[in-house]
Structure 1
């Protein structure tokens, strides 16, 4: 018996076709008609796992089809692997980076920057026809090999297995080290011993916490950013100027401003204007790197703000969200909860600290762009000491009017595991909001035990 697949309804086609094109970095465009055809004809055949109605991945019998942005972010996600392959065929340089960092210098150097999740997404999209279970089994097999080559104690492998196997044409591994986790830094070193000798390696050394107000640390990190751009130029054969970096900063500041405005607009609504998953995809657009194409993300983001403003004004409630849901704020790196099942239990996710920290951090546009970028990066709230990070988190919790906080850390994520307890203790002490800490396996499907615990926390609220 075949798996039940979700299908977009023809009833919503006309409204979607009235929306705007997506414009890409290379100047090409894709029309709403082309997007609709892909989502209704091509994608269900190529990627049935993405359309499978399966509670474990959070799929409902229907999605919010009346929000054009939801369909467009879906399109960008499903075409990601093909677009990366096409970019490489056209001579584009691609770099592996750390999660939680802005990508301004990579954009300036005409390089696509991919964090670990996007590297895995690229690889996953190379194989067609898998259902959810087959896709999960495939991922687990490749991860096991990587853990064997690196360390079973690592929380994740950062796409090590794909790069070293030669599945992905990544030119340079150049993340900011020590930013939010130690495993990616360890992974960079592990690549030195792998069979793929063609990939360039660079540690962009990030000074540890509590250095943001020290001039030497800013200057030191600025020099590392210059080394980064020089390394990227060695790959591309071009020369990146300070003017190029300034233009990239202005471009990304535009995305960060729009992302911040959109999040605050969402928070201002008495009635949640989208569900949890759509809220997350909207805000992530602000970093402009989620879909491997800065201009595509920006064009979708600009249009999204109009749609959300209209919904907030008219009191439109997000798809399948109950009246007066309990509002959850999620903390931790590379984590999230099953949005639709949590909504079925009476809650909605109103925010996450991961990715939001650097989206809400604007870079000064006057003066030395390397110095300004280094200073802002050192000031990321997520990267501060426990007390400062907790105080910033409390501010976000209050803005979002959250009723409860869940701190999730993946097994092996030493940094987040170590700080989870003191951070939630400070939050509970100063706000009185209930908190819950959960450890999970990064690579499995969202299992029933985890959802039972989340549901119990929601019921308590």
Structure 2
């Protein structure tokens, strides 16, 4: 289990990339959960989840971006300028917010990587027109991937890729179900490590690893400082496991999350029986919640509240990324819905890299203390 948990550490992150490239394969970096990995797998391209530099200093990125802008984008650009992504054959992102679009504008201008592409995601999923538009966007992307991978995508190829990724999500969902236990088998930090590692591995290999470790996880009890209070974490673009380690080391257990590299990655609506696999894929991805610029705030709040009851959550801890305005705009609505449902909650801004640890520990500790004074909600 340790092997897969450490795969997305900075020193191991590109191990599979170099191995894949050594066999003559192509690798493309992905930004956003709205870009379907299945398209890349179907063309024998390794989809590699982009992670920014975890170092504090982003002096090179500051030349192209203001400091008071999205920390994730700044740190990704710093990695790009440092040459960490030079081994990639391309980078694909969804236009989930304008900071990401501007990030790819800079990458396109600098021309260090041959293929930079932005997938347009409709702002809503209210009509069939939205799904069909997004399906056409995915078809346009697949045509470009075919040229890079040197392989045409057939419906059978895409259906096989969908089956593979659904099986991975099913195994990860089984891990999440085990977190409902009074003593979860995995900590919140370990879950983040697990999912972020899956996202940088060849998915067929990730599936094999998950099948091997799942029986062990079923019998395991996580090494935790405390089994209460039970927290849910809400955050975007959080890929540094140190944040969840900090939360749990302060005296709590993270039993659920609403994060990109968490529940949003694995909880995808089931296939709807569409004959066109592109339309099926577009419908499933567009129905998922996550991006603050999507008109799905209500569905997101409903799902989080349902998870609070299902996972017996005592409180919600939001860790929004500082200077990420679209996600900041959504917070008052979520707070209103949680307060309305009687769910204790707090939102504390954070940087992308792990920093301000002392301040975070104090504020998180105060929230945990307030939950402990209220007593256990669940029996």
TM-score range, shorter chain: 0.7 to 0.9
Aligned 1:82-93 pairs, distance under 5 A: 82-93=15-26
Aligned 1:113-262 pairs, distance under 5 A: 113-117=47-51, 120=52, 139-141=55-57, 143-152=58-67, 153-157=69-73, 159-164=76-81, 166-167=83-84, 168-178=86-96, 181-196=97-112, 198-208=113-123, 211-262=124-175
Tell me what 1:333 maps to.
236
Unpaired segments of 5 or more residues in structure 1? 1-68, 125-135, 312-316
Residue 342, structure 1, aligned to residue 247, structure 2: yes
* 8 Å contact from structure 1 (residues 172, 199) kept in 2: yes
* 8 Å contact from structure 1 (residues 277, 339) kept in 2: yes
Residue 303, structure 1, aligned to residue 212, structure 2: yes
Tell me what 2:283 maps to.
375
User: What is the CA distance between 1:374 and its match in structure 2?
Assistant: 0.4
Secondary structure of the structure 2 residue equivalent to 1:264: helix
Question: Structure 1 pair 150/339, CA: closer, same or farther in 2 (3 Å)?
Answer: closer
| Deviations 1:226-263 (CA, angstroms, capped at 9, x unpaired) | 11111112212221222111110011111111211221
Tell me what 1:359 maps to.
266
Secondary structure of the structure 1 residue equivalent to 2:256: strand
* 8 Å contact from structure 1 (residues 276, 348) kept in 2: yes
| Deviations 1:379-432 (CA, angstroms, capped at 9, x unpaired) | 0022442222111111122211111111111122111111112112201211x1
* 8 Å contact from structure 2 (residues 70, 321) kept in 1: no
Tell me what 2:335 maps to.
424
Secondary structure of the structure 2 residue equivalent to 1:445: coil
| Deviations 1:120-156 (CA, angstroms, capped at 9, x unpaired) | 4xxx7xxxxxxxxxxx6xx333x22113213432332
* 8 Å contact from structure 1 (residues 327, 349) kept in 2: yes
Tell me what 1:51 maps to.
none
My pick for the range that moved more, 238-247 or 372-381, is 238-247
1:319 to 223, 226, 244: 223
Structure of higher CA gyration radius: 1
Secondary structure of the structure 2 residue equivalent to 1:144: coil
1:275 to 158, 169, 187: 187
Write the distance in 1 (CA, Å) between the matches of 2:313 and 2:24. 46
Write the distance in 2 (CA, Å) between the matches of 1:188 and 1:76. 23
Write the distance in 2 (CA, Å) between the matches of 1:365 and 1:388. 19
User: What is the CA distance between 1:275 and its match in structure 2?
Assistant: 2.7
**How well do the aligned residues superpose, as a CA RMSD in angstroms?**
2.4
Q: How many residues align?
A: 358
Question: Structure 1 pair 204/76, CA: closer, same or farther in 2 (3 Å)?
Answer: closer
Aligned 1:44-59 pairs, distance under 5 A: none
My pick for the range that moved more, 98-107 or 358-367, is 358-367
| Deviations 1:180-221 (CA, angstroms, capped at 9, x unpaired) | x4322221222222142x52122211001xx32311111111
